[in-house]
Structure 1
Amino acid sequence: MLNALEVFTTVVVGVMVGVEFSVAFVMNRIFNALPEDSGQLGRAHGGRMLGAVMPFWYIGSLVLVAIWAIARWPHEGTGLVVSAGVLLIVSVIMSILLLVPINNRSKAWTPDNRPADWKEQMNRWDRYHYVRVAVLIAAFTLLVAGLV
């Protein structure tokens, strides 16, 4: 049963990392290359869609890692899992304090109501997101190392 939990948790976190990596290095580059206002509209739609799903995914991943760490507590590799959990907590804190406020504003923007500094705000969000992706990759790497 513990093996199933470990594998399931690793897959859930791994897919989340893949989605966030794709947003950072694929989707946003596609949006930035679109003509006129299409990119901004695409980002707004993505912000609404992923903004609705990601809180559950982040918290769910953290809960799964916590269960894994508790269930495996006295065994070898638990420190790696706990460290991964700490990094997931960092990613949640980063999200709440840095990324969500920008996302909450930008998901309602249209070409008619967006602020003059909307591109600067998107660039700031991108920079914070790159750091968050690095934190998530580190957490995932620790989980994989804890699994093996």
Structure 2
Amino acid sequence: MLSALQVLTLVVVGVMVGVEFAVAFVLNRILNALPGDGGQLGRAHGGRMLGAVMPFWYIAALVLVAIWAAAGWGHHGNGRTVTAGVLLIVSVLMSALLLVPINNRGKTWTPDNRPADWKQQMSRWDRLHYVRVAIIIAAFALLAAALV
């Protein structure tokens, strides 16, 4: 049973990492290169779409890691699992306190109502997102290492 939980958790966290990595290093670069208002409109749509899904995904990942840590208490590698859980908590707090407020503003912007500093706000979101991606990659690596 523990093995099935570990595999499920690795898949959920791994796919989440992949999506967030793609946003940071592929999608946002594509959107930034679009001419005219395309990039801003794409970011607003992405903010609405992913903003609706990612909170549940992050919480589900955290819950799975917590269950894994509890079920595996005393097993080899459980310290790595607990540390991964702490990193996921950091990513959730960072998201809620720093990234979500920017995203909530950005997802409502249109070319007619966006603020003059919208590019600076998106740049700040990108920088914070890079840090969050590094944190969740570290959590994923620790979960994989916990199995070895």
- TM-score, reference length from structure 2: 0.99
Q: Which amino acid aligns with 1:104?
A: N
Q: Which residue of 1 aligns with 2:123?
A: 123
Q: Which amino acid aligns with 1:146?
A: A
Percent of aligned pairs with the same amino acid: 79
**Structure 1 position 55 matched with structure 2 position 55:** yes
Q: Which amino acid aligns with 2:96?
A: I
Root-mean-square deviation (CA, aligned residues, Å) is 0.4
Per-residue deviation, residues 32-52 of structure 1 (Å, max 9, x unmatched): 010100000000000000000
For the residues of structure 1 that align with 2:69 and 2:124, how far apart are their CA atoms?
34
- TM-score, reference length from structure 1: 0.99
Per-residue deviation, residues 92-140 of structure 1 (Å, max 9, x unmatched): 0000110000000000000000000000000000000000000000000
For the residues of structure 2 that align with 1:96 and 1:12, how far apart are their CA atoms?
20
For the residues of structure 1 that align with 2:93 and 2:117, how far apart are their CA atoms?
25
Q: Which residue of 2 aligns with 1:81?
A: 81
The alignment partner of 2:51 has SS state of helix
Q: Give how far 1:147 is off.
A: 1.7
How many equivalent pairs are there?
A: 148
Q: Which residue of 1 aligns with 2:135?
A: 135
For the residues of structure 1 that align with 2:142 and 2:100, how far apart are their CA atoms?
26
Moved over 4 A (4+): none
Q: Which runs of 5+ in 2 are unaligned?
A: none
